[in-house]
Amino acid sequence: MADWYTNFANSGFGTTITKQLGLPRPVELRRYEPGQPLLPGPVVVGSAGAGRLRDTVTAVLRDAGVTVQSPVTADGATGGEKLGAVILDASGLTTPADLASAHDFLAPAIKRLRASGRVLVLADPPADATTPAQAAARQAVDGLVRSIGKELLDGSTANAVFVPEGAEASLAAPLRFFLSGRSAYVDGQLLTVSPADVPANLDEDEPLAGAVAVVTGAARGIGAAIAEVMARDGAHVVAVDVPAAGDALARVADEIGGTALQLDITAADAPQRLVEHLRERHGGVDVVVHNAGITRDKLLVNMDAARWNTVMAVNLQAQLDITQALLDADGVLRDGARVVCVSSQSGIAGNRGQTNYAASKAGVIGMVRAWAPEFAARGATINAVAPGFIVTEMTAKMPFGTREIGSRINSLQQGGLPVDVAETIAWLSQPASAGVNGQTVRVCGQSMLGA
């Protein structure tokens, strides 16, 4: 399902009109389906620098059955088949001069990228550099990748993963995610992994098999999509929403064979009730997704205390209180647990009329960063996902013009779907994502806002 304009722009008549008028030409994105190959075409892998990550990349591609082709030669000789992905291992950069080989590799390779292709650059974190020249070379990757993202056409994306020394094993899960259709609407992102004990994904089709996953705000919208994707990936989902949404919540839970739990997450006894439910009914929890969120928009100067307080209570305080209660309840949050918190692009860019909402969503980003070390000590992780413009009931209420502009000002020229946020959250929830901790991943099609 794409938005109406994407459907129009890809119809026979719409293609002609949009071409003639120079209008945005969004394409339908390659989205994940179980059993589908990781990539729809071969990959070329190049390096700029020492290339420390080559073995990890090769192993992931081999396990996924992806064909690896030799890089295109500098004189432009190319193979025939269009590429599914272009991967640059830029680990070991020491000076900006090393980046010349990045250019030499990327330029001809990207010319051969097919629609919904992937460009992925792997590098060392700039913060760990030991000389200014090395830091400059590593930081240059940031501008390079974001610019490639803006130049790519036809639903292709560009992302980067920074991999510190010793964290090589943590690269596999992000690599698979960024190459796959799960990351359809994740573009222009720079993820930093950390060293961790990374278990293999034993079952690629059901990476959450046997897990118990709580999803708040699951009665509709993004939360319902998260519940569906988690169940598809093998989890038993405890779907939580307010009693007023009880009927819709029951429908979602029934459809996925999950459990419905009516709970206002801001109630004083909500953390304890959730803990007890998980202990008694499920013996613990593996994945917690703090998705429930509300908006109460007004300019700050006109905002009453109630609007401020309710938004803070649902979007931020409930996430803090429930997470703390789970950490405190002996044995309920299982070792290796995954907590994923829904933030927002507004929490990064700010938004007129949303001081309360943006403050709450920025708070979520600070919260996961601060909690990450404590989670790592238990073999667990806590991360945030910041959606950009996602086509839901929330955004359907916007005036037509605002909605149209909001959904076009990103590199993919379209709004994301709830499933795009859900796939990113489900990936962060996998056991294999142990090396992704304290991060905020935007699901925004490389929105121009806040980037």
Ligand X SMILES: NC(=O)c1ccc[n+]([C@@H]2O[C@H](COP(=O)([O-])OP(=O)(O)OC[C@H]3O[C@@H](n4cnc5c(N)ncnc54)[C@H](O)[C@@H]3O)[C@@H](O)[C@H]2O)c1
Strands (DSSP E) along 294-406, which ranges? 333-342, 381-387
Site string for ligand X, 295-334 (x = CB under 6 A): -------------------x--------------------
Site string for ligand X, 338-357 (x = CB under 6 A): ----x-xx------------
Distances (CA, A) of 214 to 269, 274, 317, 412: 17, 9, 17, 31
The answer to the question of residue 293 lying near ligand X (CB under 6 A) is yes
- The catalytically annotated residue of 5, 32, 185, 357 is 357
Query: Rounded to the nearest whole angstrom, what is the least distance from the CB of residue 388 to ligand X in the complex?
Result: 7
The answer to the question of residue 242 lying near ligand X (CB under 6 A) is yes
How far is residue 248's CA from residue 8's CA, in Å, rounded to a whole number? 31
Give the three-class secondary structure for 354: strand
Query: Rounded to the nearest whole angstrom, what is the least distance from the CB of residue 215 to ligand X in the complex?
Result: 10
Q: Which of 312, 394, 448, 449 binds ligand X (CB under 6 A)?
A: 394
Q: Is 5 a catalytic residue?
A: no
Q: Which of 47, 56, 116, 291 binds ligand X (CB under 6 A)?
A: 291
How far is residue 43's CA from residue 69's CA, in Å, rounded to a whole number? 6
The answer to the question of residue 390 lying near ligand X (CB under 6 A) is yes
Residues in region 408-437 near ligand X by CB under 6 A: none
At residue 359, what are phi and psi to the nearest 5 degrees?
-65, -45
Query: Rounded to the nearest whole angstrom, what is the least distance from the CB of residue 216 to ligand X in the complex?
Result: 6
Match 């996602």 to its residue by tokens.
Answer: 390
How far is residue 131's CA from residue 135's CA, in Å, rounded to a whole number? 6
Buried b (16+ CB within 10 A) or exposed e, 381-410: bbbbbbbbbbbbeeeeeeeeeebeebbbbb
Residues in region 206-235 near ligand X by CB under 6 A: 216-217, 219-223
The answer to the question of residue 266 lying near ligand X (CB under 6 A) is yes
Cβ closest to ligand X, residue 38 vs residue 245: 245
- Structure tokens of 128? 């760990």
How far is residue 10's CA from residue 6's CA, in Å, rounded to a whole number? 6
Question: Catalytic residues, which ones?
Answer: 357
Binding site for ligand X (CB under 6 A): 216-217, 219-223, 241-242, 245, 264-266, 291-294, 314, 342, 344-345, 387, 389-390, 392-395
